[in-house]
Structure 1
């Protein structure tokens, strides 16, 4: 979701990038992210009943068979995020890492919260906006942690991403090296494996066991790309793949509900996850380094704002017009609208505000490093406007 693909992949000494010269942009990751975003949108628009008021399988008998697996785009997002965060954090300080994450995540997110709240306030059909205080808390992106409902159900993934960033910040603080990344993968794997069996709320909170295999797998794939594959990295990836497969049943129930999950074959979900791991392995090994499709970076730029705005706002718009527009044209029209709005948010909010926010935060980080904030001196107070002294106060003047 919020993972940023660095325009230039910086290569440390002794590293390698198979098939591509140092600094080449991995545009294939943009394509993977767009496919993942559209699959999640497809799932929400063609598999959820809340927008249509009738089972979508009756409206989309063929497409619905595939749409029920669209939620797997989130898992692919997490794989890409592990790869990209490890890549973009290389050589950065902890402050630089924090600035890059905040300036990347929040501008588009703030715009999405405002847009979604406006739609839900205008048409409280699928869901009401809720208390305004909840909307304000949602702007922090921390609502999930303090028990405030997400304004949009898709936002749950952002909190999982924040946990990943918080954990990986420990690696950044120590220095992003091959050794530290491998140790991090091993420790997080162990924590995620034992968390379900141990009654420890802190461990369970940060382990995010159903998501961690994808983040860790992505990190290992990036290490393969930088330093070449070896038995240790393949072992890490293999363990993550097995753990990811273990959580498929639970994820199907949480996304489809117990009834529909029991009726829906699980093997396609297992297959999609396998294909996701294979695709990332191919990227790590340089199979797609020759891809130079110029439109892919533009598509990749849309994925984050598209993911943020498409769900509750899109479902509300579908619900509002479902009786006047045929299902297929309506779904396609709303998808096109969301793509256009995603581009508007990217160009008018995400890019300019991200630059301003990043610049301001970098100045703040420099002040912290210097040990004191820089600020203009306060203007001198004119003598006649000075505050009364203690004697004047006691005299009643």
Structure 2
């Protein structure tokens, strides 16, 4: 997912609260971390590879099982789902960075403006393809008007409604992280508060994870996914204030938990790829994501200044939103016209990238500006006192 992260800039603002002393290091300069845009692109392409070449339970897409049609690509794509974990790591880092020094209202506005405009367009386009494109999967349930409208809330999963696109399940995870992080946004972010938040969340998730049948507690603490968000927040503290044994310990401890949680999630992915997945490969790729993000936090990639990465980063979210169902429809169409797998994959990727650029430029950006103006309107400010009662004659 992430798919699904805010603009990658450090605000360099004064820390709110002031009660807890911060480590003696000035805030980093207001430079865009281009390397995070590149990592988001890598994560997105990994997820695309998983759905287009790794998933083996929809034979109607390719007309033949991908493991038979393209065995080498299938073995690689089978592990592309780990891009989601990289998205979550980046999300924890960037949310902490973008919320530092912001008011709760600014935090709320930034999340809504970042997530919803492209998502609304993605829901409409994907639903249109599912309902009206002749080469969509025959086993795909059509979207009713009520389903589409419910999807607009991004709360379709807890409301028991089918997502327009299966990849949207990660957005519900992100939303719950944002709601938890809102606690810090309200009281003000400081070094000590973020560290305490990481520790409390880790303990709560481990405890509630021991009770897998308690859906309520598990939906709040998210024991399978929280290690990535927690590590991301600690990594931002390293980036902003410098490495300490405590912060490095949080990152390392989070990875230890994450590699264990892979055992819980691997079953569903093995079902989708229709074969066994290697734990050493999964743990190595997960560890590599943690290591790369640690190097980012330590400044090892500050030399990366390729401006084209900002464009790639901007397209990542629309690509994530559009690639699965629309991509499968394109693949099915290409196979019906006897296209071979590798050229078809390249053509589909080009189409999705072009569509993502169109959505970003002509829908996401103008809608985001409009939505931000609406949310920043003084008319939406809550009054300090109750307004006078309107008495009717």
TM over 0.5: yes
Does the 8 A contact of 1:116 with 1:309 survive in 2? yes
Q: Aligned partners of 2:360, 2:101: CA distance in 1, in Å?
A: 27
Equivalent residue, structure 2, for 1:125: 137
Q: Aligned partners of 1:83, 1:292: CA distance in 2, in Å?
A: 19
SS in 2 for 1:62: helix
Q: Aligned partners of 1:250, 1:258: CA distance in 2, in Å?
A: 15
Unaligned runs of 5+ in 2: 16-23, 388-392
Question: Within 5 A, what are the aligned runs for 1:301-340?
Answer: 301-324=314-337, 325-340=339-354
Q: Superposition RMSD on alpha carbons, in Å?
A: 1.9
Select 1:54's aligned residue among 59, 64, 67.
64
Distance 1:130 1:229, change over 3 A: same
**Per-residue displacement from partner, 1:197-234 (whole Å, max 9, x unpaired)?**
23543211111111100000000000011111111111
Select 2:84's aligned residue among 74, 82, 105.
74
SS in 2 for 1:224: helix
Q: Aligned partners of 2:11, 2:329: CA distance in 1, in Å?
A: 40
Select 2:260's aligned residue among 220, 241, 246.
246
Equivalent residue, structure 1, for 2:242: 228
Select 1:207's aligned residue among 218, 221, 228.
221
Select 1:270's aligned residue among 270, 275, 283.
283
Distance 1:227 1:114, change over 3 A: same
Question: Within 5 A, what are the aligned runs for 1:294-305?
Answer: 294-305=307-318
Does the 8 A contact of 1:11 with 1:226 survive in 2? no
**Per-residue displacement from partner, 1:241-276 (whole Å, max 9, x unpaired)?**
011101212322212318835x33221111110110
SS in 1 for 2:48: helix
Equivalent residue, structure 1, for 2:304: 291
Deviates more, 1:331-340 or 1:251-260: 251-260
SS in 1 for 2:220: helix
Equivalent residue, structure 2, for 1:385: none
Q: Aligned partners of 1:75, 1:69: CA distance in 2, in Å?
A: 11
Deviation at 1:6, TM superposition (A): 3.3
Does the 8 A contact of 1:9 with 1:25 survive in 2? no
Q: Aligned partners of 1:72, 1:84: CA distance in 2, in Å?
A: 19
Deviation at 1:358, TM superposition (A): 0.9
Name the larger-Rg structure.
Answer: 1
**2:114 is equivalent to residue 104 of structure 1:** yes
**Per-residue displacement from partner, 1:90-123 (whole Å, max 9, x unpaired)?**
0011111000000110000000000001111113
Deviation at 1:326, TM superposition (A): 1.5
Distance 1:149 1:287, change over 3 A: same
**Per-residue displacement from partner, 1:69-104 (whole Å, max 9, x unpaired)?**
000000000000000000000001111100000011
**Count of aligned pairs:** 370
Q: Aligned partners of 1:258, 1:350: CA distance in 2, in Å?
A: 32
Deviation at 1:147, TM superposition (A): 1.1
Distance 1:183 1:39, change over 3 A: same
Q: Aligned partners of 1:42, 1:84: CA distance in 2, in Å?
A: 25
Question: Within 5 A, what are the aligned runs for 1:28-47?
Answer: 28-47=35-54
Q: Aligned partners of 2:157, 2:25: CA distance in 1, in Å?
A: 39
TM-score normalised by the chain length of structure 2: 0.90
**Per-residue displacement from partner, 1:267-317 (whole Å, max 9, x unpaired)?**
111111011000010011000011111111011000001000001111122
Unaligned runs of 5+ in 1: 374-388, 390-397
Distance 1:26 1:11, change over 3 A: farther
Q: Any runs of at least 4 consecutive aligned residues in structure 1 with deviations exceeding 6 A, and if so which?
A: none
